[in-house]
Structure 1
Amino acid sequence: MEEIVRCSWAQSDPLLSTYHDEEWGVPEYDSRALWEKLMLDGFQAGLSWLTVLRKREGFRKAFYNFDPVRVARMGEKDVSRLLNDAGIIRSRTKIEATINGAKVYLSMKERGEDLSTWVWSMAGGKPIRNTTGKVPAKTDLSERISKELRKKGFKFVGPVIVYAWLQATGIVDDHAPDCFRRTSA
């Protein structure tokens, strides 16, 4: 039986392998799902993605399956409750950034600005295939998107976090050249 070749980062843990094989790098066009993934990438700051993956279901439970309307209504009582929730990463600033992110997301929507349309248009409308063979921590595009997200009011959206989000959501194809998930062309 032939062994599957995948990106090296996805080989150390079965959860990472499954995430890589089924989700990472798959183009995402649903605005709510893009927002959820951006918020989760914010929680990763300073931690490993595996930590976030292990707690993802806890995050979904804590943040009402990332329903932005419900999250936007969360207040100090909810923040206090979440600071005691071992099922998530217990960081006040990251929890508050997620609540704030829901408000920003809804504000964009109210103005007729769709997150998916916005981010995909900034990326040229189709996945960007990395042809260098090197995976950067950030790019000019992630710096530009980060700057615009911060202008809109999002938090924990620095250029490194944004680049990880672009990779995760398939806006950038950074699969290794020999990875079975790498797109051709």
Structure 2
Amino acid sequence: MTKHKCGWCVGDELYEAYHDNEWGNPVHDDATLFEFLILETFQAGLSWITILRKRNNFFDAFDQFDYKKIANYNEDKKAQLLQNAGIIRNKLKVNATITNAQLFMDIQKEFGSFSKYLWAFVDNKPIKNTIDYYKNAPANTALSDALSKDLKKRGFKFVGSTVIYAFMQAVGMVNDHEVGCFRYNEV
């Protein structure tokens, strides 16, 4: 018997694997949160499948998403990234990644971890929505507006409310699996 899955992933093996194993799982590990934050910021204006297909390239190009290394990237490293055809070669997004890595560590210092900062926005408990069909899920909410606004105030780039809502879905802050999806009650 085939398990019902959210409609957005059906038909693409990579999408389905991401959906079945990662999307919506509550993430509390700072390294993984940083990875998703960076991937979501690169996704701005593009489709998620584009980023997912290049994920391994991003992993290699950005030193396994090691924010401590990324925070110290110099002009030579930036130039190298902008020549890397395996990633999205957008100068503003590359620069934003470096800035965001630095600011990510500032939040860690202030709150003890990025996870503590982030999960406080949902009282440390995922919000379980009741989405019947994935196209009915919101693109942003008042909560993603507030988190986006706070990140921007701190200097983060490419963290608009829509990007942040997608990030919140990916890291399990909100459960937007379709209610009929086999993952809905698993996450």
TM value normalised by structure 2 = 0.94
SS in 1 for 2:130: coil
Looking at structure 2, the residues matched to 32 and 109 of structure 1 have their Cα atoms a distance apart, in angstroms, of 11
- Name the counterpart of 1:157: 159
- Name the counterpart of 2:98: 99
Looking at structure 2, the residues matched to 182 and 44 of structure 1 have their Cα atoms a distance apart, in angstroms, of 24
Q: Percent of aligned pairs with the same residue? A: 44
Structure 1 letter corresponding to 2:104: Y
Matched, 1:62 2:61: yes
Structure 2 letter corresponding to 1:13: D
- Name the counterpart of 1:147: 149
Q: 1:14 to 1:144 in 2, by over 3 A?
A: same
Structure 2 letter corresponding to 1:80: A
Looking at structure 2, the residues matched to 125 and 28 of structure 1 have their Cα atoms a distance apart, in angstroms, of 11
TM value normalised by structure 1 = 0.95
Q: Stretches of 4+ moved more than 4 A in 1?
A: none
Gaps of 5+ in 1: none
The CA deviation at 1:12 is 2.9
Looking at structure 2, the residues matched to 21 and 141 of structure 1 have their Cα atoms a distance apart, in angstroms, of 25
- Name the counterpart of 2:5: 6
SS in 1 for 2:8: helix
Gaps of 5+ in 2: none
Looking at structure 2, the residues matched to 162 and 37 of structure 1 have their Cα atoms a distance apart, in angstroms, of 10
Cα RMSD between the aligned structures? 1.4
- Name the counterpart of 1:41: 40
Looking at structure 2, the residues matched to 115 and 183 of structure 1 have their Cα atoms a distance apart, in angstroms, of 26
Q: 1:112 to 1:3 in 2, by over 3 A?
A: closer
Number of equivalenced pairs = 184
- Name the counterpart of 1:167: 169
- Name the counterpart of 1:178: 180
- Name the counterpart of 1:77: 76
